[in-house]
Amino acid sequence: MGGRARAVKPPPAPPLLPADGEGSRLSQLLKTYLKPKDIAQVMAAYRFSDIAHTGQMRMSGDPYISHPVTVACILAELHLDALTIMAALLHDVMEDTEFGKQELTEKFGATVADLVDGVSKLDKIEFQTATHEQAENFRKMLLAMSQDVRVILVKLADRLHNMRTLDSMASEKRRRIARETMEIYAPIANRLGLNEIYQELEDLSFKHLYPLRFAVLTKSIKAVRGNRKEVVGKILEAIKQRLSDLRIEAEVTGREKHLFSIYRKMVEKTGTFSEIFDIYGFRIIVKDTATCYLTLGALHGLYKPIPGKFKDYIAIPKANGYQSLHTTLFGPFGTPIEVQIRSREMHNIAEAGVAAHWLYKNTDADLSALQKQTHQWLQRLLEIQSESTDSVEFLEHFKFDLFPDEVYVFTPKGQIMALPSGATAVDFAYAVHTDVGNCCVAVKINHELAPLSTELHNGDHVEIITATQAKPNPAWLNYVATGKARAHIRHFLKTMKSSESAMLGERMLNQALRVLQANPDDISEEQWKKLVRDYGVQDKQEILTDIGLGQRLNVMVARQLLTMAEPSGEKPVKQLGSITIRGSEGMAIQFAQCCRPIPGDPILGFINKGKGVVVHTRDCSAIRKFRKDPDKWLDVEWDPDPHRLFKANMRLAVANQPGVLAKIAAGIAGVGSNIDNVSMEEGDDSAYTHMNFTVQVKDREHLARLMRGLRKLPEVVRINRVKGAANS
């Protein structure tokens, strides 16, 4: 990007595109596919940009206009329409000059102005951190892209030229921009099928992130390239002769992997450069799909195929529209040969991706299969952003959706669904529909029951089993691989926590109102409206949620509510009564891990900001440090009839005899308790073993009954309850 210097308007001398350099190249490119009237519009955009950027220079010392012209050239090579080329020429005008969106709209139309606005940064908004600024910029750009994919095409071309000229930047800034490019922009280019841009972005990022490794690899490739010419030539001639004998018209070329892909394979396969580079690559371009398969047969007749190394991306294209046949053969002298076979149309899409035929039609009926896939992906972005509460979270979910490798699985109706590599049954459920994901309880993979965390593989037949009352499990976040699944799970959990916290907050507020000798039912709607206005929040629900999460004190809110009705005279605050703990409050009330309270234990509630009420036993050693904040403590008591089982920890010393664990497990089950966790450790002598159990009990009496029963077993030497982790 350019500097922040304000543009100085020179006399309006409207230059044409320069007759040399990038300007001349852009003119030549445009003449190959645009109509004269479109070229005239592009010239007008160039003149406006040249005037707007007058006096501005790049860090490299070049006039600033050289940057937008080069960006326009990159897009013209992809044969993008005139509006996109105009947006490329104007893409920094709003950010770096005095001209705004209104001027662009008046001069070049709303579409060009919207494209430029989508690419521009949010310079006028102050953010808490650089991370928030970066995330908000991405969010804005990606949402604009979901309306019109040309936004990201301009941004990718802009980033590509900036990466080509990154040497003029300070080293720290180079690394930051290169890392951002590697993590975000290169995967987006890959996802849109822009293969050449994707590979160049990766190689340039690699160069600036790991300059020494880049230099060594570059030198090694140059050193061995000459030695390979003879072998490549022989294989090339053999393939051409074979296809000629069978009267198959084809364009055959040698193919060399780009630098970063060689480095990535060395890292992934822990192989040496010579092992990776010894694989020879060839590309064969033929006239149509049928000829692709004929060519495959011809090659398998010439060289033996390596089993398990054939991929048919024509029958099942990649999500970015990529289609080719991939096969690996045993070449002469046992040399591995990788071959890609594709039609001319497939080749155009492989190199230019969605830009190869993005027609910008208004109806889905006009869209090609690739455009539909891209449209669906962009719609998923909108869905993810609607479930994300802030920009940083949206960017995190978006990164999860940029996996280059994919697996293809079948639905129960036989439809093929593409998911990122590493996707699980939960990802599949959310890909089918949000409601299916929220209500899934089990999965059948290839007609057999499997855990929801099972990683899916190519060709799996997946059937999700749902239940009406089911809801997402927080543990799913540990293994889902798609941004959509992650966003929906988090949104559900936040909504559920908010709802539960609001219910708890209402109980706590009512308790405080009664202590102040006020009836909660007497609080008028007008009082609530005044309080909501004073607090600057959305509604009453938000205040109750804040109380439940410990972010507002119930006593203070109660007093302010009453003040709304009676401005004069405050009543003394009495000691609050107790909150009843039912055990079914969900995430709004948490039970401290340090003491693991169960019904029957004397307890206290501590208001923890952001977490709600955390319940401790009164003799818990951890509460001493909280005593200095008496306002944050609540008196709590157990409901006489708890609605759930509670976890308690026991430690047993037992005789080291065969079958002792089975006897203890039977004893625990005999009193209606469940084992949640068990671990064992040998004592100082091998005659005894220490066992740590986490069991589920109804209350303290239930636990006492369980421990009495276990003490009667002759193998049990000692047993006691442990406050805290079972293995502590």
Please give the domain boundaries of the chain with CATH numbers for all domains. Answer: 21-206 (1.10.3210.10), 213-355 (3.30.460.10), 369-481 (3.10.20.30), 491-630 (no CATH), 646-722 (3.30.70.260)
Q: What is the pTM of this model?
A: 0.56
- 530 with 564: CB under 8 angstroms? yes
- 697 with 598: CB under 8 angstroms? yes
Please state whether beta strands 674-682 and 633-638 pair in parallel, antiparallel, or not at all (unpaired): unpaired
C-alpha to C-alpha distance for 327 and 296, rounded to whole angstroms: 8
Nearest to 639 by CA among 599, 593, 612: 599
Q: Which helix (H) or strand (E) holds 637?
A: strand 633-638
Q: Give the per-residue pLDDT at 516.
A: 75
DSSP code, position 720: E
Q: Which helix (H) or strand (E) holds 409?
A: strand 406-410
Nearest to 653 by CA among 691, 682, 679, 703: 691
641 is catalytic: no
C-alpha to C-alpha distance for 615 and 632, rounded to whole angstroms: 12
- 574 with 515: CB under 8 angstroms? yes
Q: Which one of the listed residues 96, 200, 203, 715 is annotated catalytic?
A: 96
Q: Which helix (H) or strand (E) holds 154?
A: helix 150-164
Query: What type of residue is 179?
Result: R
CA-only gyration radius of the chain, Å? 33
Tell me phi and psi for residue 691, to 5 degrees.
-120, 135
SS3 sequence, 577-615?
CCEEECCCCHHHEEECCCCCCCCCCCEEEEEECCCEEEE
Nearest to 708 by CA among 689, 721, 690, 691: 721
Q: Give the per-residue pLDDT at 366.
A: 43
C-alpha to C-alpha distance for 691 and 710, rounded to whole angstroms: 13
End-to-end CA distance of the chain: 56
C-alpha to C-alpha distance for 397 and 381, rounded to whole angstroms: 9
What angle do the packed helices 211-245 and 289-302 form, to 10 degrees?
A: 90
Q: Which one of the listed residues 95, 180, 396, 676 is annotated catalytic?
A: 95
Q: Residue 680 pairs with which residues in a beta bridge?
A: 691
Task: Provide block-wise average pLDDT over 10 residues at a time, the chain (728 residues).
Answer: 43 46 79 90 92 88 91 90 93 87 91 87 47 64 70 90 90 90 84 85 94 89 73 88 92 84 79 69 92 94 89 82 88 83 87 57 47 63 59 59 68 82 90 90 90 87 89 83 83 75 82 81 86 80 79 75 61 51 63 87 77 80 69 75 83 88 90 88 72 91 93 92 64
The tokens describing 584, both together, are 């079914």
Q: Give the per-residue pLDDT at 100.
A: 86
95 is catalytic: yes
Nearest to 405 by CA among 647, 191, 242: 191
C-alpha to C-alpha distance for 157 and 73, rounded to whole angstroms: 9
Number of CB atoms found within 10 A of residue 525's CB: 8
DSSP code, position 649: E
Q: Residue 656 pairs with which residues in a beta bridge?
A: none
Residues 6+ away with beta carbon under 8 Å from 546: 505, 537, 552
The tokens describing 47, both together, are 């003149």
